[in-house]
Structure 1
Amino acid sequence: MGEWFPWIRSPDSEINFNRDRMVSRSRDLARNDGWASGAITRILDNTVGAHLRLSANPDWQFLRAFNKAFDATWADEFRKVVEALWRGYSEDLGRYNDVSRQLTMSQQLRLALRHKLIDGEDLFVAHWMPERIGRGAAQYATSWLLVDPDRLSNPYQMVDTKYLRGGVEIDDHGVPVAYHIREAHQNDWYNAPESMVWLRVEREDPDGWRRVIHDFERDRAGQNRGIGVFTPVLAHAKMLARYYGLELQAAAVATTYGTYVTSPYDPKMVESAMDSDGEELGFYQDLRDTWSKKHPAMLNSVRVPTLAPGEEIKQVSAAHPHDGFEPFAHEMLRSIAAQLGISAEQITQDWSKTNYSSARAALMESWKTLTRRSTEFKIGTATPVYSSWLQEVMERGDLDDVLPRGGMVPDFLEAATAYSRCDWLGVARGWIDPLKEKQAVLLGLEGGISTFKRECAEQSLDYEEVIQQQAIELKMRADAGLPPLKAFSGGADDSSKPDEVPEPK
């Protein structure tokens, strides 16, 4: 450790000064390296997936302190109405929830998580656009713009100060109060004038409406900007990418060979012939040509080059330097997978050397990290987005019909956390061995150590929709004269009874 003397600095000093370089390298890796791109895709597909469904769950027990009318029945009615309004807003065909009118809310959230993984943070800016209300299916003025985190920076690239850290303006307590955002990316030559203009956006409006959502994972106290998941293993990933190139070059060289012809003439004789009038060398070449024409050699109708007496063809092939590529690549991928929190098999998609036990153990560990990433993203980004929209909904009076009629009813700002409490249904956990794992689910339900809601949530299902669908299907089976399934009849053994075929109705 004689030459290992790292500096002790604040988190912003360590991150902000070199952040552009770290982000550019991470982006280049995710854009041009198949392993890195595949790893990001695996994380996204196992956290938010293609669709993130809202599951509203207001804290009626907290609200009950204001009014006894807030109970579980009210919470269920509130949930149904809010989820219906959210579906109309977030999945609107006109994409009015997006300032650029390109993405649904789920697509924006997926892209935000991608920014968070690669760039280390995601940045949403809320816009109030009442002119959109009434156009198509648009009902609300709240619209979101997902901003590239590169645009969050100090005006004119000035160095950090006490109250300005990487574009984040803080107060004496370290609370972010405003964000300085370029109007265009710094390297957009076609927006050069706008790229030198910074807009100061306050975190919240005076009425409490959230304007900016800045979400990143904090590794140290006092940190104001984030780093991507690839940062600790950038050197490993780059070495592996270079090794692939070198291996390809070695393989290309190994497939080539050099060919030369040896002649009984030594160099001095050839040199002497070249210095003369060339009659001897020309005579020798004529002999070779005559020999080749009079003595052709054929192999499967293909002519083989024929040499003159005393000549022979020799080849030089390139030998591969070593055969340790596969173990080295596997070890490097393991280190990258360890940092990303997923298994090496999930990156390579190679399960040929995996059995049920090892696969389940690896996926269980990966699921913990994926669940943590998903939960932090929902808490830091998805729920604040929903809460800002819900504030407009409640202040417009769209939920007056489901709020209690009598007694005190707190407005949104008085109980924003209670009203906005929710969960998000993302990607189903899936099964490795469906038979064994579904049997375990049934045992857990029967033993009382699990709930139907929890088991459905792990498979990205709404338990109430499942129950309602089961009721519909049971009624249809009964109407058709079909017996109930064992799962709904208690699994009773009726083998002693004669088989009865119901008459169709």
Structure 2
Amino acid sequence: MGDWLPVIRSPDSEINQFRDRMVARSRDLARNDGWASGGIARILDNTVGANMRLSAGPDYRALAAVTGISAFDAEWAEEFRRVVEALWRGYADDVSRYNDVSRQLTVSQQMRLLLRHKLIDGDSLALTYWLPERIGRGAASYATSFLVVDPDRLSNPFQAMDTKFMRGGVEIDTYGVPLAYHIRKAHQNDWYSAIESNDWERVEYEDEDGWRRVIHDFERDRAGQNRGIGIFTPVLARFKMLARYYGVELQAATIAATFGTYVTSPYDPAQVQDALSADNELSQYQQLRADWSKERPAMLDGAKVPTLAPGEKIESVASAHPHAGFSDFAQEMLRTFAAAAGISAEQVTQDWSKTNYSSARAALLESWKTLTRRNTEFKIGTATPMYSCWLHEAMDRGDLPLPNGAPEYLEARTHYSRCDWLGVARGWVDPVKEKQGAILGMDGALSTLKRECAEQGLDYEEVIQQRAVEIQQFKDAGLPPPNWYGDDATSAAQPEPEPSAQ
């Protein structure tokens, strides 16, 4: 290890100096390499999916303990949850997209884009805007609006070197607390925005009234880190080597597919030269043979068989393919990316032909741990702060039910904004076995309907309500309830007989 002499630096010194190069290479892979693009898609589909649904859960016990107001109870929490989720759905899924400054994306689509930036670029960055002119328009009716910002625009003014209080565009204090973010008004390499790209806007982390302006999320690997790195960074070199190997393999396959043919003759070169002269008897003889073959061709099942002179034969030459182990090598290289990304190799390659139930189940359980961790960190770092910004306005406007004497939002925003998010269903490898296990877990008090539904991306209350509606429809149609209604549910639903006079 004599020539292996890495230098110890701070996390910002290691990342910020080379960030542009790392991000450019990662984006090139995600844009032009099918394996890299597929790996990112698998992570996004298994964490955020197409929709992130709010499951509000205000901490009524903490509110009651802090304020001494007994009205903060489970009944109030249920009423608050129903109202806030309904208002959030109207805001987040507004067809006019007033939740987005650019009016292009729903909140769920913004979250997916933010997580994509976090995976590839290392950072997700969103700004909150106050646009009162949008109040009353569409289903949104709120001034809070979000804008997803390309992390490239977060940088030190005029590309200056990092200082004690300025790290990669993040302005911090002596404790390392973010005070403000310096964001270019346009991307640095857009020629049509050259003037704006040389102008930076200083955006405070929070307003004076405590309203959060910047949502910056990245995966922290070291203490004191202010910018993140993408998941491709540890495997960039291997991915590039694999891409080159694919090119070499394609060239080798093309050469191997090319073959040549030639005719061997017993005549020496001089005789062949004599045969080519028009007045030579051998040439005349060969012409007679050619005419005979042309007029009376030899046929085999409708196909013409070439006829050769005595002693002549056709030979072929082909290039043998020298890379028989290409597939195994490519799979080994892809496993390194799967290990870095925290997903199984089968999820990257989408090849499950060599997998049985046990190995597939074990692989999915292991990858689910990492996917759940990524999902949870994204909820904490991005989704819940976005909800908290909107909730601040909703509570200030008096749109939510609160007991008398309830504290202001900023006095207890952690308790008010406590929530979870329903996203992608885990799914089943064997639906029969795993559903039976879920039922046994609930019957044995080791699990709950809420937890089982959440793992499948469902809201347990909606499941119960829908089940009640379907049962009632069976009754209204005069049909016997299905077996899942319960063994004694039918008899229990019948009215009890009136007591006799005796």
TM-score (norm 2): 0.90
Q: 1:62 Cα shift?
A: 1.1
Quick one: distance in 2 between partners of 1:456 and 1:480?
28
Quick one: distance in 2 between partners of 1:378 and 1:116?
13
CA RMSD of aligned residues (A): 2.4
Q: 1:217-228 residue pairs with structure 2 within 5 A?
A: 217-228=219-230
| Matched letter for residue 54 of structure 2 | L
The match for 1:500 is none
* 1:243 and 2:241 matched: no
Q: 1:402-481 residue pairs with structure 2 within 5 A?
A: 402-405=401-404, 408-481=405-478
The match for 2:76 is 74
Quick one: distance in 1 between partners of 2:309 and 2:193?
72
Quick one: distance in 2 between partners of 1:191 and 1:341?
39
Distance 1:280 1:329, change over 3 A: closer
Quick one: distance in 1 between partners of 2:47 and 2:104?
22
Distance 1:127 1:295, change over 3 A: same
The alignment partner of 1:87 has SS state of helix
Q: 1:339-418 residue pairs with structure 2 within 5 A?
A: 339-399=340-400, 402-405=401-404, 408-418=405-415
Distance 1:103 1:492, change over 3 A: closer
The alignment partner of 1:460 has SS state of coil
| Matched letter for residue 422 of structure 2 | L
* Cα deviation 1:38-74 (Å, max 9, x = unaligned): 1111111111111100011111111112122111110
The match for 1:40 is 40
Quick one: distance in 2 between partners of 1:259 and 1:266?
19
Whether contact under 8 Å (2:275, 2:283) holds in the other structure is: no
| Matched letter for residue 473 of structure 2 | M
Number of aligned residue pairs: give it.
Answer: 484
Whether contact under 8 Å (2:132, 2:142) holds in the other structure is: yes
Q: 1:156 Cα shift?
A: 1.5
The match for 2:290 is 292
Whether contact under 8 Å (1:292, 1:307) holds in the other structure is: no
| Matched letter for residue 344 of structure 2 | S
Quick one: distance in 1 between partners of 2:178 and 2:436?
50
* Cα deviation 1:16-47 (Å, max 9, x = unaligned): 11111111111111111111111111111111
* Cα deviation 1:57-102 (Å, max 9, x = unaligned): 1111111121221111101101111111101101001001111111
The alignment partner of 2:142 has SS state of coil
Whether contact under 8 Å (1:151, 1:185) holds in the other structure is: yes
The match for 1:57 is 57
Q: 1:259 Cα shift?
A: 3.3
| Matched letter for residue 368 of structure 2 | W
The match for 1:210 is 212
Quick one: distance in 2 between partners of 1:469 and 1:25?
49
* Cα deviation 1:431-489 (Å, max 9, x = unaligned): 11111111111111111111111111111111111111222222233333444444443
Q: 1:302-321 residue pairs with structure 2 within 5 A?
A: 313-321=314-322
Quick one: distance in 2 between partners of 1:89 and 1:443?
39
Q: 1:418 Cα shift?
A: 0.7
* 1:101 and 2:103 matched: yes
The match for 2:123 is 121
TM-score (norm 1): 0.90
Q: 1:135 Cα shift?
A: 2.7
Distance 1:267 1:17, change over 3 A: farther
290-299 vs 187-196, greater mean Cα deviation:
290-299
The match for 1:112 is 114
Distance 1:311 1:189, change over 3 A: farther
Structure 1: segments with no counterpart, 5+ residues: 495-505
Quick one: distance in 1 between partners of 2:289 and 2:194?
74
| Matched letter for residue 88 of structure 1 | G
* Cα deviation 1:330-365 (Å, max 9, x = unaligned): 111211111111111111111111111111111111
1:84 to 83, 86, 104: 86
Quick one: distance in 2 between partners of 1:180 and 1:329?
42
| Matched letter for residue 234 of structure 2 | P
Quick one: distance in 2 between partners of 1:302 and 1:478?
74
| Matched letter for residue 81 of structure 1 | V
The match for 2:497 is none
Whether contact under 8 Å (1:292, 1:308) holds in the other structure is: no
Quick one: distance in 2 between partners of 1:218 and 1:196?
29
Whether contact under 8 Å (1:486, 1:492) holds in the other structure is: no
The alignment partner of 1:240 has SS state of helix
332-341 vs 470-479, greater mean Cα deviation:
470-479
The match for 2:178 is 176
Q: 1:269 Cα shift?
A: 9.2
The alignment partner of 2:98 has SS state of coil
Distance 1:320 1:410, change over 3 A: same
Identity, % of aligned positions: 69
Whether contact under 8 Å (2:184, 2:199) holds in the other structure is: yes
Quick one: distance in 2 between partners of 1:236 and 1:146?
31
Quick one: distance in 1 between partners of 2:278 and 2:198?
76
| Matched letter for residue 334 of structure 1 | R
Quick one: distance in 2 between partners of 1:280 and 1:232?
68
211-220 vs 333-342, greater mean Cα deviation:
333-342
Quick one: distance in 2 between partners of 1:158 and 1:487?
67
The match for 1:27 is 27
Whether contact under 8 Å (2:184, 2:200) holds in the other structure is: yes
